[in-house]
Amino acid sequence: MKPSTLGELKNSFWNEAQLRHRTVKNEMRENLIRKLQVGEPLFPGIVGFDDSVIPQIVNAVLSRHNLILLGRRGQAKSRILRMLETLLDDEIPVVAGSEIHDNPYAPISAYAKRLIAEQGDATPIAWLPRAARYVEKLATPDVTIADILGDVDPIKAAKSGFLLSDELTIHYGLLPRANRGIFAMNELPDLAGKIQVGLFNIMQEGDVQIKGYPVRLPLDVVLVFSANPEDYTARGKIITPLKDRIGSEIMTHYPASVEEGTRITAQEAWTDRFSPGKLHVPQFILEVIEQVTFLAREDSRIDKRSGVSQRLPISVLENSVSNAERRALIHQEPLIIPRISDVYASLPSITGKIELEYEGEQLGADKIARELIRQACGKVYLKYLELAEPGRVIDWFNQGNHLKLSDQTSATKCLEQLRPIRTLMELVRMGNFSEGETPQHMVAAAELVLEGLYAQKKISRNEERGYGKVVVEKRRRDQSGYYDWTDTGSVN
């Protein structure tokens, strides 16, 4: 049974020597050492940082540093900060009723000091769980010093009968309430400079001074921050003395390869959903969606300073699955398999997540997003069918044949339209990416072949209701969601 009074605590594992030694930084260091020795995963679910970010975080914790993660949007900064909580003990003893989780052997608040002086070994002990020891705040320009450190509370003074000058009338801010835990500040550059000054003492001297009180609170807390490197280095919103007090500055990054990106996207996207049909997402669809993101990060028309978040492919995959699910429900199909037309149907998940440079703004986000999907399909096509000879498929179109597919047409009907195209199904089987012989599998793979040929400008495609010659001005006005593959010569 856990000790419930100070006297019982003194005769337990949590004796005075143990608890005084176990500061938060020492605690995290010791727990990290144990995890490293037994080979326990440190940040499960974080992909692509094993050889870069995670070793630097390990070094910072072993060095007992406060740290900051610098990275563009969607690089798992907040998730990593929250996972630092796993380096804390399951629970720790605190003085019961203390707002700032006083150490029973070294109380710092007037409340805890008075309680221990009055009750001695009978002082009640509470147990603080790990989750309650992580305090997070999003930095915004309207955050005040009182929010972070604290201020006088007239209501508390009136109700308790204490004088305003009494320390017991303090309303503690978030930082003191994080005592004996981790205090995380997201988007630090957005915090006003005068508020950043309020963090100086806690980072260097280990205490805070609350306005209006001649009292210092020697807090035991680890401070961790996140920031966008553009804000951090270019705009200079983090004041220099504060930067100097941060022990380790760690840069995060986007996935280094499409393979890493697809793992993250498949892990994070909401695809494990209840539906009347059985869902299967082909690997090439995952690769196309991830390629869109990689191409967007390289595109000169898209603002590189803002970055392209990893949330983009996650949202696109979820939307693509939903579009395929809608089609399967309408046609009562047993299989839900996204295809390329479903990726195009997910344009709203792309256009809202890219910030454009001047040239891009002239073209428009919708057009750029369509180009990115086309280019992505071309790259994935070449991965599977670089050496394939699609001549007979191209000949079929050159003979004046047209093909019109809709993202809402059933797989069976689409397959009927595709079968007359000579050697198309042979290409699908040659690429070995259909992952099945059902109409849903075959149509999804065939759409990739056609889109890949279109990306290489071997056939053309428009998105008009009609067939034949494409009028560019009309194309911009009339988006129907239909795919009309024709021979290259029919496009102006």
CB atoms < 10 A from the CB of 398, how many? Answer: 16
CA distances 57 to 144, 229, 248, 420, Å, are: 30, 17, 8, 58
Ranges 4-13, 109-118, 426-435: which has the least confidence:
426-435
In the predicted model, is pLDDT for residue 472 greater than 70?
Answer: no
208's enclosing H/E stretch is strand 208-209
In terms of pLDDT, which residue wins out, 296 or 155?
A: 296
Q: What is the pLDDT of residue 193?
A: 85
Question: For residue range 350-403, what is the model confidence (pLDDT) as tens digits?
Answer: 999 999 998 889 999 999 999 999 999 999 999 999 888 888 888 888 888 888
Percent of the chain exceeding pLDDT 70 equals: 88
- Angle between helices 439-455 and 411-418 in degrees, nearest 10: 50
CB atoms < 10 A from the CB of 280, how many? Answer: 19
Contact 252, 77 (CB under 8 A): yes
Structure tokens that stand for 232 in this block: 């951090």
In the predicted model, is pLDDT for residue 241 greater than 60?
Answer: yes
Q: Quick one: pLDDT band at residue 471, thresholds 50, 70, 90?
A: very low
Q: Can you tell me the distance from the alpha carbon of 155 to that of 169, in angstroms, rounded to the nearest whole number?
A: 8
Question: For residue range 184-217, what is the model confidence (pLDDT) as tens digits?
Answer: 999 998 888 888 888 888 887 777 777 666 677 8
Q: Can you tell me the distance from the alpha carbon of 59 to that of 380, in angstroms, rounded to the nearest whole number?
A: 39
Structure tokens that stand for 185 in this block: 């500040």
Q: Nearest CA to 149 among 191, 106, 190?
A: 191
| Section 435-446 average pLDDT | 91
Question: For residue range 5-18, what is the model confidence (pLDDT) as tens digits?
Answer: 999 999 888 888 88
Q: Can you tell me the distance from the alpha carbon of 184 to that of 67, in angstroms, rounded to the nearest whole number?
A: 10
Structure tokens that stand for 365 in this block: 């986000």
Q: What is the pLDDT of residue 473?
A: 34
Q: What is the pLDDT of residue 98?
A: 93
What is the residue whose two structure tokens read 């969606």? 289
Q: Quick one: pLDDT band at residue 57, thresholds 50, 70, 90?
A: very high
Contact 126, 94 (CB under 8 A): yes
Q: Can you tell me the distance from the alpha carbon of 238 to that of 457, in angstroms, rounded to the nearest whole number?
A: 49
Residues in the chain: 492
The single-letter code of the amino acid at 443 is V
In the predicted model, is pLDDT for residue 165 greater than 70?
Answer: no
Domains of the chain: 6-251 (3.40.50.300), 258-490 (no CATH)
Q: What is the pLDDT of residue 486?
A: 55
Q: What is the pLDDT of residue 368?
A: 95
Q: What is the pLDDT of residue 29?
A: 97
Question: For residue range 256-303, what is the model confidence (pLDDT) as tens digits?
Answer: 999 999 999 999 999 999 999 999 999 999 999 999 999 999 999 998
The single-letter code of the amino acid at 12 is S
Q: Can you tell me the distance from the alpha carbon of 8 to that of 96, in angstroms, rounded to the nearest whole number?
A: 14
Mean pLDDT across the chain: 86
Q: What is the pLDDT of residue 234?
A: 44
What is the three-class DSSP state of 196?
helix
In the predicted model, is pLDDT for residue 438 greater than 80?
Answer: yes
Q: Can you tell me the distance from the alpha carbon of 390 to that of 394, in angstroms, rounded to the nearest whole number?
A: 6
Phi, psi (degrees; rounded to nearest 5) at 412: -60, -45
The single-letter code of the amino acid at 196 is Q
The DSSP code sequence of 21-56 is H--HHHHHHHHHHHHHHHT--SSTT--S-TTTHHHH
Structure tokens that stand for 156 in this block: 């508390």
| Section 410-436 average pLDDT | 87
Question: For residue range 130-145, what is the model confidence (pLDDT) as tens digits?
Answer: 999 999 999 888 888 8
In the predicted model, is pLDDT for residue 475 greater than 50?
Answer: no
| Section 60-78 average pLDDT | 94
Phi, psi (degrees; rounded to nearest 5) at 213: -130, 130
Against a cut of 0.75, is the pTM above it? Answer: yes
Q: Can you tell me the distance from the alpha carbon of 323 to that of 316, in angstroms, rounded to the nearest whole number?
A: 10
Q: Quick one: pLDDT band at residue 468, thresholds 50, 70, 90?
A: very low
Q: Quick one: pLDDT band at residue 477, thresholds 50, 70, 90?
A: very low
CB atoms < 10 A from the CB of 194, how many? Answer: 10
Q: Nearest CA to 93 among 189, 185, 12?
A: 12
Q: What is the pLDDT of residue 431?
A: 80
Question: For residue range 83-104, what is the model confidence (pLDDT) as tens digits?
Answer: 999 999 999 999 999 999 999 9
How many H-runs (helices) and E-runs (strands) does the chain carry? Answer: 25, 16
In the predicted model, is pLDDT for residue 157 greater than 80?
Answer: no
CA distances 136 to 88, 148, 276, 286, 348, Å, are: 15, 11, 40, 34, 31
Q: What is the pLDDT of residue 308?
A: 92
Percent of the chain exceeding pLDDT 90 equals: 58
Q: What is the pLDDT of residue 381?
A: 94
Strands 181-186 and 134-138: parallel
- Angle between helices 424-431 and 439-455 in degrees, nearest 10: 100
For the stretch 129-154, what's the b/e string if a residue is b when 16 or more beta carbons lie within 10 angstroms of its beta carbon?
eeebbbbbbebeeebebbebbbbbbe
CB atoms < 10 A from the CB of 462, how many? Answer: 23
